[in-house]
Chains A and B, each alone.
Chain A
Amino acid sequence: MTWLPENLDLVLRLTGTHLMQSVVPVVLGLLISVPLARLAAGSRLIRPLMVNGAALLYTIPSLTLFVLLPVVLGTRITSIINVIVALTIYVIAILVRSCTDAFAAVDRSVLQAATAVGYTKWQRFWAVELPLAVPVMLAGVRTALVANISMVSVGAVIGIQSLGTLFTDGLRRSIAEEILVGVVLTVILAVGLDQLLRLLGLYLTRWQRPGRLTADSSHDDARRTSSSGPQPSTAPDPDESARRIAATGGGA
């Protein structure tokens, strides 16, 4: 266990650039996706177009974009800008869909009530729609971030610096410890940032937590497995959406 102490500087520098390459695309992607999704959610015409377009973007392998983008952007092939742009595209592919679902799932009667008490459309968006869409939206953001952290390392194959550099360098020099440090740090980044977002989500959805008011009286008929009633609720619960998105997210 001597490699890490001797190369702490390198590891810190790579962790920093790895973080930048995974977090910046999420921020950029979110800024682009939210207006697109709001547009799509309100339109029967644009919605399938946008959701299908996003799905198509998603099928493009990340390495393809890493190699193709320098041609389009005029960057060097080892530039981290290629990664940031490529991953922003993936984030949009994931978020346009989950944000569209999020806006579509907002209770219509709440929106009508907001209009009825005198919110303008713009005020209503910021004060009502956006906060109510957060839970479903956040599930998408978490998926995108974890996927990014894993995908950034792939760039190392063509020489883009990141924690992935520890993998290629470790293999070339046959230092298992170097690779292991890279794997562990990648997992720590992924889990750590994911938990941070989870906490942020809890803060943003304080209104959703069950309070003491809703003491649930259990009765015998509620025990039946069939007690869920004739129609399943149409509002997706956030964990459920997280599962769904998790089942369709992440690419390398």
Chain B
Amino acid sequence: MNLLSGMWQWLTDPTNWSGSGAIPARALEHMAYSGIVMVVAIVVAVPLGMLVGHTGRGSGAVIGVAGALRALPTLGLLTLFSLLMGLGLVPPLLALVILAVPPILTATYAGVAEVSPAVRDAAKAQGMTPTQVLTRVEVPLALPVAMGGIRNAALQVIATATVAAYINLGGLGRYLIDGLAVRDYSRMLGSVLLVAVLALATDAVLAALQRAVTSPGLRTTAH
């Protein structure tokens, strides 16, 4: 239990809360990495998932590729990329994008593909153009499901961005790696606790966002 009190001391030490290597700066770095990764992953995965869900073409390939990507170990990619591409931000961010794409892709695809054929048919029969069917019917109906995938990806990215510190980058993982090097267990505990808080907070925000984009008409049907 002295470990926990050590952690508490570390967390409440004012010197850890100001300056360039301090907790707020590290948290900001952590959020920046995760933010960049999420933006890139969303830009790649959401349109692709919508396209495949809308046309129904290539769905087998998308599910297959997403499944294969999921099997790739992020730490392996991160170390391999750093070794091959050198140090810098690109290797870890690329590895994290590969981590984030599958859940967003499959969720977006599933959201669009699950739109009832009757609703789609009715929209067409009322005289909606294919673009209108996509933007006015399929997107609003798929959004809650796609947001579920985005939430999930964000959780994984924030958790895994911790290991970016392993290749000499910043973020909250810095304290974990540095603490490990000098056997400062309190600092390690503090580090992982902060990551957990960040993950929980982000998930709460995204959950609220997910609720906001879900039409009340869909909430009543949800079991």
- Measured CB to CB, the residues of A under 8 A from B are 58-64, 66-68, 71, 77, 146-147, 149-150, 153-154, 156-159, 163-164, 166-168, 170-171, 174, 176, 179-180, 182-183, 186-187, 190-191, 194, 224-230, 232, 240, 243-244, 246-252
Q: Using Cβ atoms and an 8 Å threshold, which residues of chain A touch B121? A: 224-226
Nearest-Cβ distance from residue B122 to partner chain A, whole angstroms? 7
Q: Return the contact of B148 from the options A149, A163, A248 (Cβ within 8 A).
A: A248
Q: Return the contact of B180 from the options A158, A187, A225 (Cβ within 8 A).
A: A158
* Nearest-CB residue, chain A, relative to B114: A240
Q: Return the contact of A183 from the options B63, B77, B192 (Cβ within 8 A).
A: B77
The docked-state distance in angstroms from the alpha carbon of A67 to that of B80 is 25
- Measured CB to CB, the residues of B under 8 A from A are 3-4, 63, 66-68, 70-80, 82-84, 99, 102-103, 106-107, 110, 114, 116-118, 120-122, 145, 148-149, 152, 155-156, 158-160, 162-163, 166-167, 173, 176-177, 180, 185, 188-189, 191-193, 195-196, 199-200, 203
- The A contact surface, by secondary structure, is helix
Contact A252 B156 (CB under 8 A): yes
Q: Return the contact of A67 from the options B76, B166, B189 (Cβ within 8 A).
A: B189
The docked-state distance in angstroms from the alpha carbon of A207 to that of B145 is 31
Given contact pairs A228-B116, A243-B106, A247-B152, A158 touches B176 in the complex (Cβ within 8 A): yes
- The B contact surface, by secondary structure, is helix
Q: Using Cβ atoms and an 8 Å threshold, which residues of chain B touch A243? A: 63, 106, 110
Most buried by B among A60, A243, A247: A247
Given contact pairs A243-B106, A247-B107, A150 touches B70 in the complex (Cβ within 8 A): yes
> Across chains A and B, which 10 residue pairs bring their CB atoms closest together, nearest first?
A61-B159, A190-B71, A247-B107, A64-B192, A252-B160, A183-B76, A171-B79, A226-B121, A167-B79, A153-B73
Nearest-Cβ distance from residue A197 to partner chain B, whole angstroms? 13
| 15 A/B residue pairs, CB under 8 Å, sorted by A | A61-B162, A61-B196, A61-B199, A63-B195, A147-B70, A150-B74, A157-B176, A158-B188, A171-B83, A179-B83, A190-B70, A243-B63, A244-B110, A248-B152, A249-B152
Given contact pairs A63-B192, A170-B83, A244-B110, A154 touches B160 in the complex (Cβ within 8 A): yes
* Nearest-CB residue, chain B, relative to A154: B75
Contact A59 B200 (CB under 8 A): yes
12 additional A-B pairs beyond A154-B75, A246-B103, beta carbons within 8 Å, are: A64-B193, A71-B3, A146-B70, A156-B75, A164-B73, A167-B73, A170-B83, A174-B83, A179-B80, A243-B106, A247-B103, A249-B103
Contact A170 B106 (CB under 8 A): no
* Nearest-CB residue, chain A, relative to B196: A64
Contact B76 A247 (CB under 8 A): no
Contact A250 B70 (CB under 8 A): yes
* Nearest-CB residue, chain B, relative to A151: B73
The docked-state distance in angstroms from the alpha carbon of A182 to that of B78 is 12
Contact A252 B99 (CB under 8 A): yes
